[in-house]
Amino acid sequence: MTRPPAPPDARVVVVGGINADLKARTTAPLVPGTSNPGTATLTPGGVGRNVAENLAHLGRPVALLGVVGDDDLGRLVLDATSAAGVDVTHVRCRPGPTGSYTALLDHHGELVAGVADMAAADALTPEDVRAAESVVAGAGMLVLDGNLPVETFAAARDLAAAHGVPVVVDPVSVPKAARLAAQVRDLLAVTPSHGELAALGGVPALLARGVGLVWERRGASGSVLHTADGAGAVELAAPETAVVDVTGAGDAMLAAWCHAVLAGQGHAEAAAYAHEAAALTVASPLTVRPDLGEMLAR
C-alpha cells in the first residue's frame, strides 16, 4: 500500500529488545578467577529500547513494543523508559526474568566478556505485533531490532507494508543477521556492519530485494550509503571524537537518522546528522544521552 509521506511530527514505533545492562569495570589489571576491585552501573538497555529512548530525547513521539519480565528489573527499566518520554503502554509483561546484558570490562574499558539473556525479546510473538495493528498503522516509521524472533520480525514487516509504513532494520550482529537474511526485504533502510552485510547477502542482493538504502556501518571509519537510484556509494566520515564508551552509539545513530528523515531531510543529510548523534554518544559514558537533542541543536 502506498500513502502520502508522513507528517514531520509523525510517531515512530520501535519493536525490539528491552534489557537491563549491568556493566562492571575493574580499576586495576584484571585477575581472572578472583574478585577484582572495580565499579559497576545498572542502566536501562536493549537495542530497541535504546533507539526508542534516543528518539524521545530528540523530541520525536515514539512507542515501544516488546516484552519484559515480572521482576524489579523490568519495573525499573520500564519506569525509566516511560519517564524519558517513550510510550510503553504496549510493552507486555510476562512471568520470568527481564532481558539483561551483563558486561565485564577491564581497566582500559575493553570488553572481557558479555552475557546476554534475550529470553524476553524471544518471547515477543507475531500475535503481540498484530494485536498492536492500530499503533503500527498510525506510525510514520517502524524500526525493527534484529534481536526479534524471525516470525515476529516478518509479521511486523508485513503489517507495516499493509499500512504503507516505511521500515528500518538494525541487523544487530552477524549471527542475528544470518538468521534474518531471507526476511530482510521491502524496507526503507537497513544498517549492517561489514560482517552483517555479508551475512545478509551483500548490497546488490539487498537492493534487488526492495531495500531502498543499505547503510553500511564502519565503526570509527564512518559509513557508506548504497542506494538503488544509481547514485553510487556515498562515503561519510565519522566525526572526530573522544572515545569514552561506544555502547549505544549505533542506537543513537539509527534514532537520529529516522528522526531527521521524518523531519524531511534526505538520506545522506540525515546520515551526517546521525553520525553527530553517534559521536556524542561515543564521547559519553552513558548508553543513551538524555541531552542528545540539546547537544545536536548547538
Ligand X SMILES: O=c1[nH]cc([C@@H]2O[C@H](CO)[C@@H](O)[C@H]2O)c(=O)[nH]1
Ligand Y SMILES: Nc1ncnc2c1ncn2[C@@H]1O[C@H](COP(=O)(O)OP(=O)(O)OP(=O)(O)O)[C@@H](O)[C@H]1O
Q: How far is CA 5 from CA 14, 64, 186, 266, in A?
A: 19, 22, 17, 13
CA distance 260 to 298: 16
Q: Which does 83 bind (CB under 5 to 8 A by kind): ligand Y, ligand X, none?
A: none
Name which position in 282, 288, 292, 296 contacts ligand Y (CB under 6 A): 282
257, interface contact from ligand X, ligand Y, none, CB < 5-8 Å by kind? none
Residue 250 in the binding site for ligand Y (CB under 6 A): yes
- Of the candidates 18, 144, 249, 288, which one interacts with ligand Y according to CB under 6 A? 249
Q: Which of ligand X, ligand Y, none does 17 bind, CB closer than 5 to 8 A by kind?
A: ligand X
Q: Interaction with ligand X in 35-74: which residues (CB under 6 A)?
A: 45-47, 50
Q: Does 279 bind ligand Y (CB under 6 A)?
A: yes
Cα separation, 75 vs 77, in Å, equals 6
Cell of 134: 492500530
The x, y and z cell numbers of residue 170, run together, are 538494525
How many other C-beta atoms are found inside a 10 Å radius of the C-beta of residue 98?
25
Considering only the C-alpha atoms of the chain, give the largest distance between any 2 of them, rounded to a whole number of Å: 60
Type and span of the H or E element at 99: strand 99-105
Among 54, 98, 147, 281, binds ligand X (CB under 6 A): 147
Distance of CA 27 to the CA centre of its chain: 30
Tell me the site size for ligand X, rule CB under 6 A.
16
When CB distances are held under 5 to 8 angstroms depending on the partner's kind, the choice from ligand Y, ligand X, none that residue 223 binds is ligand Y
How far lies 154's CA from each of 46, 121, 145, 146, 183, in Å?
20, 15, 12, 11, 6
19 binds, among ligand Y, ligand X, none (CB under 5 to 8 A by kind): ligand X
Cβ of residue 15: shortest distance to ligand X, in angstroms?
13
Cell numbers 561489514: residue: 194
Q: Contact between 48 and ligand Y (CB under 6 A)?
A: no
Q: How far is the CB of 255 from ligand X (least distance, A)?
A: 11
**Residue ranges in contact with ligand Y by CB under 6 A:** 193, 217, 219-220, 222-223, 238, 241, 243, 246-251, 253, 275, 278-279, 282
